[in-house]
Structures are given as C-alpha cells and as structure tokens.
A and B are shown apart, each in its own frame.
Chain A
Amino acid sequence: GALNVLPESSLFNYDFDTDHLGLLAHDNLLIGGTIRSQSLVYNSVVLLQKGRVTARYNKIFLVPIEEDARLQAGNERQTNTLRFGDVILGVGICYESSFERISLKAVHNGAQALLFLSNTQSPPATALQLRSVQVRSAETGRVALFVGMAGNTSMTDAKGKVVWRMPWASSERRAISVPLYSGLTNAVHFSAQLSYILVAVTCATLVSLLWKGLHRKAERDHQG
C-alpha cells in the first residue's frame, strides 16, 4: 500500500511508550512527534505498520533552548534512514534540513528520496525550511518532500526545483508518485573530503609563503 505521511505535529505528542503508540495506527503511517522511550523523551519520526512501530528516527539536532532543554537528542551515530518495503527514505525533522550532514548521511546509507517533517507554523520560517530542503535535494540528486502543518508542503524534483506546493493554511491530502533515485552526485562524493583538501592546501600555501619569506630575508642579510 501507499505510505501515509503526516507532519511533525503538535497534535501528536505521544507522552507514552511506543508499545501504546502502535495501537493508534493500522496503516502505513509516517508521523513525527515527541515520544517517550523508557525515561527519555525524544522528538522522533516513526513508521507505523499494522499497529507496530517498524522504524524510528530520533532527532539529532534539537532546536537550542526550546527543545534541548527538555528533550533527549538522538545519537549522532544512528542512521536517519527508514526502510519501507524495498524503499529506503532519508528523514529529517524540522530545521534539521539546514544541516548538510543529514542528507549526506542518508544518501550514503542508501536513501532513494528525502523526507522532511516540520511543525513550523510561521510563513517566513517554513519558506526558509523549504529553501534548505531544496538545497539538500539538489546536492544529493534526490527528490525531497517537505511536509508542514500549515503550508508549503511540497515536492522537489531531483535537482531541487519545487514541482508543486500546497497553499498556505489549506487542509489537503494529496496522492503522489515519488520518483526514487540511486547513485551519488559529485557533491555527495567530495563534500566529506573537500574540507580536508582545503585545509591541506591552506597549510601548504602558508608553509610555502613562510619558506619564501625566510629565503628572501636570508638573501637580504647576505647582500647587506
């Protein structure tokens, strides 16, 4: 069946264990909310299938103060990919779309499309998040879905261009076919190494300038 996706939602703050959470859904439902796990409360995305949680991602980059004062951050080493049947989806929650690492890690772990669930309800903030999602889409060569509470819910093509977008404050349910891609873009291939290469080039340049400077000084001292 199709995957039903709802946003990271303030309507669904499940303050109980995931055992009970599963009872809420009998369909293929992907939804975000704050979820307790033992004594810790996370901001999570869960995949519910036939009343069971079959995949879960705990938000790694919590919003400073608002979230990190009361929630537990997900482990940075967990993967942010969820498997749905044969499909691997890369997920991020709310402003995690600002972090390049989120989409790079997902794609390195086989993500065929990206999915960002948000609960942001101000027009400028959702517009900004959508822009970040477009960048994540373009750099990874994946179609990205942005799912919001109040507006800007949208799909990009694999080059980051917004294909369609839901109007602000509209209540909509839309059936779509999401194209799935594999393979790595140059940005994904080289982004990890690029910073090391730039540091190496900078160090080599500094050493060479220092060397030349010392050499010239030695020449001048010799002439003088």
Chain B
Amino acid sequence: PRLEGYLEVNLVQPGIVG
C-alpha cells in the first residue's frame, strides 16, 4: 500500500460508562 494523503478528523469519545 502507498500513502496518498491525509484526512483531518475530529474524534469524539463521550466518556460515558453506562
């Protein structure tokens, strides 16, 4: 596999333990 670029992502972990 070849590196083709990057995707900007905002990841959200709510942090909820139910």
User: Which one of A142, A149, A170 has the highest number of Cβ atoms from chain B below 10 Å of its Cβ?
Assistant: A149
Number of residue pairs spanning A and B whose beta carbons lie under 8 angstroms apart: 111
Q: Which residues of A contact B18 (CB under 8 A)?
A: 10, 121, 149-150
* Residue A162 CB within 8 A of the other chain: no
Partner of B2, one of A11, A149, A150, A183: A183
Stretch at the interface among A71-79, A174-182, A215-223: A174-182
Q: A6-B14, A150-B15 are in contact. Are A87 and B8 (CB under 8 A)?
A: no
Chain B interface bracket (under 10, 10 to 19, 20 to 34, 35 or more): 10 to 19
Q: A121-B18, A150-B17, A169-B17 are in contact. Are A180 and B3 (CB under 8 A)?
A: yes
Q: Which residues of A contact B9 (CB under 8 A)?
A: 2-5, 145, 175-178
Q: Please, how many angstroms separate the alpha-carbon atoms of A142 and B2 in the complex?
A: 10
Q: 5 closest pairs, A vs B, by CB?
A: A171-B15, A141-B1, A2-B8, A153-B13, A181-B1
